[in-house]
Amino acid sequence: SKEFSRVKTTIVNSLKWVCQFGYEEMTIDMFYEELVELFDFIIETSLSAADNNDKSASTAAGAAKDESNRNNDAQQQQQQLHAKLNEENST
């Protein structure tokens, strides 16, 4: 989406921007790499969820099942994000 692209561009340019204010690239680089990886993960899971939503069924029973699947997918994605954040925080 357009918003993901805008934020991704900001993140990608952030290392150079921060270094302009006197921070050393080596000091910021590890945080920067984790930020880029985390944002890529968020984009991937969000786009995957959007693809699944686009494949919804046209019947009422199918729609209810799709809603249940979306809720399960959302929970699973939240758990994955939580695990990823904990993994990043432990480094």
The residues, ordered by sequence, that sit 6+ positions from 43 with a Cβ below 8 Å of its Cβ are: 4, 8
- Token pair of 28, please? 């910021």
Q: pLDDT digit string (tens) for 64-74?
A: 666 666 667 77
Q: pLDDT digit string (tens) for 50-64?
A: 666 555 545 555 556
Other Cβ atoms less than 10 A from the Cβ of 71: the count is: 10
% pLDDT > 70, the chain:
70
Range with the lowest mean pLDDT among 19-23, 26-30, 83-87? 83-87
pLDDT value at position 9? 93
pLDDT at residue 20 tops 90: yes
When the pLDDT of each residue in the chain is averaged and rounded to a whole number, the result is: 79
pLDDT value at position 42? 87
- Token pair of 46, please? 């969000």
Q: Is 11 left (phi over 0), alpha (psi -120 to 50) or beta?
A: alpha
Other Cβ atoms less than 10 A from the Cβ of 66: the count is: 17
